[in-house]
Amino acid sequence: MLELQGRSAIVTGGARGIGAAIARTLVKSGVGVVVADILEQEGAETAESLGPTAIFRELDVTDEHGWRRVIADAEANFGPLAVLINNAGILDFGGIEAESPAMFRHVVDVNLVGAWLGMHLAAPRLRAAGDGVIVNISSTAGLMGYSGMAGYVASKWGLRGLTKAAAIELGDAGIRVCSVHPGPIHTPMTAGLTNMAAGQPLPRFGEPEEVATMVGFIVTEAAFSTGSEFVLDGGATAGATLEPPAATHQTWQ
Ligand SMILES: NC(=O)c1ccc[n+]([C@@H]2O[C@H](COP(=O)([O-])OP(=O)(O)OC[C@H]3O[C@@H](n4cnc5c(N)ncnc54)[C@H](O)[C@@H]3O)[C@@H](O)[C@H]2O)c1
């Protein structure tokens, strides 16, 4: 079992939404948490609300030097790194023909390259500590396609693949790496996307706390899981609902 007392965790995109809920859950498990985000005021307020075992540090996940500072700060404040949650993400809109190359690159840079940078720089610290857990927040968009957000879908599939590659490389160092695939969750990212849950077996949005509970389980309990996909999507990826034909008793021969 991962020992969290006297150790540190980093949650990117921790200022609000899913990241803030994950930070709250991790603090309760006894690890010191760095809330890392580009949103200074919201990030500082979130960390303040979590008490003395949380601090805010400004981080743009695409900035390698920023990552180095945040990892050093986490260890200086709370002890050897134990947990990295790659949660920071952005959503693009625009069809494959309409989206600008700059926007596509930006989404992939934040959602995928940013997470890679974090793993690239955190893995040696976890290796030095002797164990650790990395959780990458992907999406159902990392399990299936959606129209109008190609950069997001590509980045979330990439993050799922990156998770498996890292899990294979880091297992012998006692480091587990898993991906989480939420369906629609009530956060600022989905404000205005009101019909996203329509047609799901459970036709509702999830709450950030439900994602945080799953992440907490991965960190503290799922000791035999690595390279694994943890899905919470109200059944959205279970399959499609088909309308039965008019003659419902007809059998096909
Ligand atoms: N809300 C959903 O329905 C949903 C579903 C599946 C996956 N996700 C994923 O969950 C994660 C969290 O999303 P959320 O719904 O809480 O959205 P959100 O917009 O509320 O939170 C995202 C956070 O990431 C931060 N961020 C953005 N760019 C950053 C950067 N370059 N560096 C550091 N921080 C940055 C934002 O400032 C924000 O605090 C994202 O990766 C998102 O793709 C969300």
* pLDDT averaged over 10-residue windows placed end to end, the chain, 253 residues: 95 99 98 99 98 98 98 98 99 94 98 99 98 98 97 98 98 98 98 93 97 98 98 96 74 64
155 lines ligand 1 (CB under 6 A): no
Amino acid identity for residue 55 in this structure: I
Strand-by-strand arrangement of the 175-182 sheet: 54-58, 32-37, 8-12, 81-86, 132-137, 175-182, 229-232
Among 189, 194, 200, 230, residue to substitute to test ligand 1 (most atoms within 8 Å of Cβ): 189
Where exactly are the structural domains of the chain? 8-238
SS3 at position 221: coil
Of the residues 56, 78, 104, 152, only one is catalytic, namely: 152
Q: Full-prediction pTM beyond 0.95?
A: yes
Q: How many Å lie between the centroid of ligand 1 and the Cα of residue 253? A: 50
Write down the pLDDT at residue 1: 84
State yes or no: is 146 an active-site residue: no
Architecture of domain 8-238: 3-Layer(aba) Sandwich (3.40)
115 lines ligand 1 (CB under 6 A): no
Rounded to the nearest angstrom, the gap between the alpha carbon of residue 199 and the centroid of all alpha carbons in its chain is 24
Structure tokens at 192: 């205005």
SS3 at position 44: helix
